[in-house]
Amino acid sequence: MYDGGKILTGLILGVVLLTFPFWYNLGRAAKMPEPELTAKAKQAKYCVEPKSYMKAYHMDLLNKWRDEVVRGGSRIYVGFKAKEYDMSLQNTCLKCHENKKKFCDECHNFADVKPYCWECHLEPKEAKGEK
């Protein structure tokens, strides 16, 4: 009457399916984001400021840039190694980090932050199908 083997298989399958979202997400949560550098960024070798600063404070730098531009001051920012940059999200940051999805978003999705900047600022046009 009862097929022990089938019941057991069914039970195991049930447990696996029920807990699937749990362990599937565990695997994903453990994976640290790996922001990709474009060929252009690699060629530049360094960012506007040293990497450790950029990693932790890029949002503060962007706020500073916005404030200075909007207050009508100079648009020139002197960064790391005295290199000069035009203070622009679109024309500077995203000209070098053109792969927003694989760079900015890679971290932001992981950290669950959604900068609202793109309601007004243009995102780079990335190749269709690229995520």
Binding site for ligand HEC (CB under 6 A): 33, 35, 37, 41, 44-48, 51, 54-55, 58-59, 61-62, 65-66, 69-70, 87-90, 92-93, 96-97, 103-104, 107-108, 111, 113, 115-117, 119-121
Name the residue nearer to ligand HEC (CB basis): 20 or 46.
Answer: 46
Residue 45's closest CA among 96, 88, 7? 96
CB of 21 to ligand HEC, least distance (A): 24
CA atoms within 13 A on the CB side of 104: 21
Name the residue nearer to ligand HEC (CB basis): 17 or 113.
Answer: 113
CB of 71 to ligand HEC, least distance (A): 10
Q: Are 73 and 86 in contact (CB under 8 A)?
A: no
Residue 109's closest CA among 119, 101, 121, 118? 101
CB of 9 to ligand HEC, least distance (A): 44
Name the residue nearer to ligand HEC (CB basis): 17 or 52.
Answer: 52
Q: Are 80 and 46 in contact (CB under 8 A)?
A: yes
**In sequence order, which residues have a C-beta less than 8 Å from that of residue 74 and are 6 or more positions away?**
68
Residue 86 corresponds to which tokens in the numbers above?
Answer: 């035009």
CB of 29 to ligand HEC, least distance (A): 15
Name the residue nearer to ligand HEC (CB basis): 17 or 32.
Answer: 32
